[in-house]
Structure 1
Amino acid sequence: MASRYSPPPSRAGFPHITAPRYTSAGARAERSTMRLPVFFKRIWKYPQMDFEMAIWEMINLIIAPKKVFRSIYYHKQTKNSWSRDDPSFIVLLTFFLTLTAIAWGLAYTPSFASIVRLVFSLVFLHFLATSLICATAGYYLCGKFLKVPQQGGLGRAGIVAGGGDLEFMYCFEIGVRAFFPVWVFLYVIQYFMMPLLSQNYWISKFVGNSLYLIAFTFYSVITFLGYNALPFLHHTEVILFPIIILVVLWAVSLLGFNVAKHVVELWLF
């Protein structure tokens, strides 16, 4: 008697179809391709920018920088992304740098062409290019050497080893935020103190060189805090090592090298 159930047809001759795999690399690629256009599109949509948050970050980058990156951690919990789509911080700092460049130009190189050149130099070379270079270096070096190994153990905050992705836009945001104290000390405070700093007195060297030490120490500390906020990175304290070099160079410079005077001459001429 024939069986009531026929055997399933042979799969021979049929194409083998598998569901597409959504790998972490694919997810990262999709997130990057989706997030970058949104970030740049919002540059032209001022009503959508959170300038109040940007100003809060700027204030706290000087008085309590840990708060800034603690808020970024909360952003990760709600948006599932370390980087933000809000370009308000970059837009605001670019505006401040433009005003600063005009002020420097009017004071020291009062010609239209010189002021335009100075605006371009401060905004695109000093700020954006430097931030991109530091972001690229941080993205590559931290991703290669500071990421928790894939095998064994947990990262900070219980993150499984190798379980986090370093986002380039987040690295860029670290560089942008680290530049803000540099702008405060070297583009604003130094501007008002140049009548003293340009002199050949020892106190001029001490104050001017100390401004550069403070500015770049802030840069190193904020960069460290930015990467240290990522629980899948370890040994991020190595980012603070340049401070030792800065202190040594600062001490040596007090023997007779006026950093402020020589650097400003390079800016302006």
Structure 2
Amino acid sequence: MAILPLTSPSYPNHNISGTPVSVSNRVPLMFRRLHRFHQMDFELAFWQLSYLCLAPKRVYRNVYYHKQTKNTWARDDPAILILLFASLFVAAIAWSIVYSYSPLQAVRLALLMILRDYLLVGALSATLIWFFANRVLVSPSSHSSPTDSSVEWAYAFDVHTNAFFPLYLTLYLAQLFLLPVVFKDNWVCLLIGNTLYLAGFAQYIYGIYLGLSALPFLIRSEILLAPLLPLFASYVVSLLGFHVTKHVLKAYFGS
């Protein structure tokens, strides 16, 4: 199976007309346009990032308009990717200052945050979302064409992108500013640190749910909220003395 699947699991190597799909067309349009800065709508991307924190449902209202005008659920403007890359780069510089990294180490950290934390994890997450949604959540009574009743891999990556930004604000920025607090050895600081991780991953899970529930041909999307239960249970258990922040940062930064 290709790492970047096509529109539907039923058509892995051909489009609807049966014509073989080229390798370049397997790459989402948003990635193929990364070099076209003059065509990017950064104002819209800023608006989307803002509302992903304030009112995320408003962002997904544009999905229907995009489908009607461009015949795809996924965004084709990579401006939001550029903004996320820049945000992660800024976060990497800030964390590098805290840990007294050299300039080379700071660049390496930025690449890790962008390539591993966002893109690699995003590709894996999008593939799982794409596979699960098309196998489990698609309504059997849908009479639409295959392209209209299946989740595009590119849209699944969009959902990951939208869900990632609130997590970024919580764990890459808020945690950074709260380091003097969460590193203290008392239960209140443990509570604050562990709550940050609960909030970050709960926001991500909820963002995935919002993204897929916005598609009219999907049913039972509430299943996507199921991970919240073990997440909250783990959080409660961690309050007995497991300091999530200290363990995660030690594994992440090695100190």
> Structure 2: any 5+ residue segments left out of the alignment?
1-13
Alpha-carbon shift at residue 165 of structure 1 (Å): 2.5
Q: Is the 8 A contact 2:92 2:109 kept in 1?
A: yes
- Residues 110-259 of structure 1: pairs in structure 2 closer than 5 A: 110-149=101-140, 153-154=141-142, 160=144, 164-259=149-244
Question: SS at the partner of 2:219?
Answer: coil
Q: Is the 8 A contact 2:209 2:222 kept in 1?
A: yes
Q: Distance in 2 between matches of 1:202 and 1:27?
A: 61
In the superposition, the TM-score normalised over structure 2's length comes to: 0.87
The RMSD of aligned alpha carbons is 2.2
User: After superposition, what is the alpha-carbon deviation per residue over 1:106-145, rounded to whole angstroms, capped at 9, x for unaligned?
Assistant: 1113223321221122111111111111000011111111
- Seen in structure 2, the aligned counterparts of structure 1 residues 241 and 128 have a Cα distance that, compared at 3 Å, is same
Q: Which amino acid aligns with 2:165?
A: F
> Structure 1: any 5+ residue segments left out of the alignment?
1-22
Q: Tell me the equivalent position of 2:39.
A: 48
Report which of the two structures shows the higher radius of gyration computed on alpha carbons.
1
Q: Tell me the equivalent position of 1:13.
A: none
Q: Tell me the equivalent position of 1:87.
A: 78
Equivalent of 1:62 in 49, 53, 59: 53
Q: Distance in 2 between matches of 1:135 and 1:68?
A: 18
User: After superposition, what is the alpha-carbon deviation per residue over 1:61-118, rounded to whole angstroms, capped at 9, x for unaligned?
Assistant: 1111111111112211221110121011111101110110011011113223321221
Q: Distance in 1 between matches of 2:117 and 2:69?
A: 33
Alpha-carbon shift at residue 258 of structure 1 (Å): 1.0
Equivalent of 1:39 in 7, 30, 41: 30
Q: Which amino acid aligns with 1:254?
A: L
Q: Is the 8 A contact 1:109 1:115 kept in 2?
A: no
Alpha-carbon shift at residue 35 of structure 1 (Å): 7.9
Question: SS at the partner of 2:173?
Answer: helix
Q: Distance in 1 between matches of 2:226 and 2:188?
A: 27
Q: Distance in 1 between matches of 2:209 and 2:22?
A: 25
Alpha-carbon shift at residue 36 of structure 1 (Å): 3.7
Q: Distance in 1 between matches of 2:24 and 2:51?
A: 31
Q: Which amino acid aligns with 1:148?
A: S
- Seen in structure 2, the aligned counterparts of structure 1 residues 231 and 29 have a Cα distance that, compared at 3 Å, is farther
Instruction: Could you list the structure 1 runs, at least 4 aligned residues long, displaced by more than 3 angstroms after superposition.
Output: 26-38, 159-163
- Seen in structure 2, the aligned counterparts of structure 1 residues 24 and 36 have a Cα distance that, compared at 3 Å, is closer
Question: SS at the partner of 2:231?
Answer: helix
Alpha-carbon shift at residue 29 of structure 1 (Å): 6.6
Query: Which structure has the higher relative contact order (CA within 8 Å, separation 6+)?
Result: 2
Q: Is the 8 A contact 1:62 1:181 kept in 2?
A: yes
- Residues 71-82 of structure 1: pairs in structure 2 closer than 5 A: 71-82=62-73
Alpha-carbon shift at residue 33 of structure 1 (Å): 5.3
- Seen in structure 2, the aligned counterparts of structure 1 residues 132 and 35 have a Cα distance that, compared at 3 Å, is closer
Alpha-carbon shift at residue 146 of structure 1 (Å): 1.2
- Seen in structure 2, the aligned counterparts of structure 1 residues 51 and 27 have a Cα distance that, compared at 3 Å, is farther
- Seen in structure 2, the aligned counterparts of structure 1 residues 248 and 173 have a Cα distance that, compared at 3 Å, is same
Question: SS at the partner of 2:157?
Answer: helix
Q: Which amino acid aligns with 2:191?
A: F
Q: Is the 8 A contact 1:35 1:85 kept in 2?
A: no
Q: Distance in 1 between matches of 2:77 and 2:117?
A: 22
Q: Distance in 1 between matches of 2:21 and 2:62?
A: 25
- Seen in structure 2, the aligned counterparts of structure 1 residues 252 and 140 have a Cα distance that, compared at 3 Å, is same
Question: SS at the partner of 1:212?
Answer: helix
Count of aligned pairs: 240
